[in-house]
């Protein structure tokens, strides 16, 4: 399942082209719906943004992609 806001549409379209069986929920979830999606996820992959931190806090396994300028000891999600 892909989540995000309307500004994520171009990246989401590229991902959907590569993974056509994925569920497109970009721009279609409230914060509560997003929390529900994340809490049921078997894995959450994302960049250094709020949804990844929320997923970790909700107990979902997470993989957060960071740049070399980010210190994982300071910025890694906890949960």
Per the model's pLDDT, the better-predicted residue between 70 and 39 turns out to be: 39
d(CA 16, CA 31): 22
pLDDT tens-digit map of 62-76: 999 988 887 777 776
Query: What single-letter DSSP state applies at residue 2?
Result: B
Whether pLDDT at 58 is above 70:
yes
* The pLDDT value given to residue 39: 96
24 pLDDT higher than 90: yes
Predicted TM-score (pTM) of this structure: 0.81
In the chain, what is the greatest distance between 2 CA atoms, to the nearest angstrom? Answer: 36
Instruction: Confirm if 55 and 77 have CB atoms less than 8 A apart.
Output: yes
């Amino acid at each position: 399942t892909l989540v995000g806001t309307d500004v994520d549409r171009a990246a989401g379209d590229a991902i959907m082209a590569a993974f056509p069986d994925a569920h497109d929920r970009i721009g279609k979830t409230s914060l509560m719906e997003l929390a529900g999606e994340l809490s049921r996820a078997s894995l959450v992959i994302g960049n250094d943004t709020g949804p990844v931190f929320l997923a970790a806090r909700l107990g979902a396994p997470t993989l957060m992609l960071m740049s070399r300028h980010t210190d994982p000891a300071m910025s890694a999600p906890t949960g």
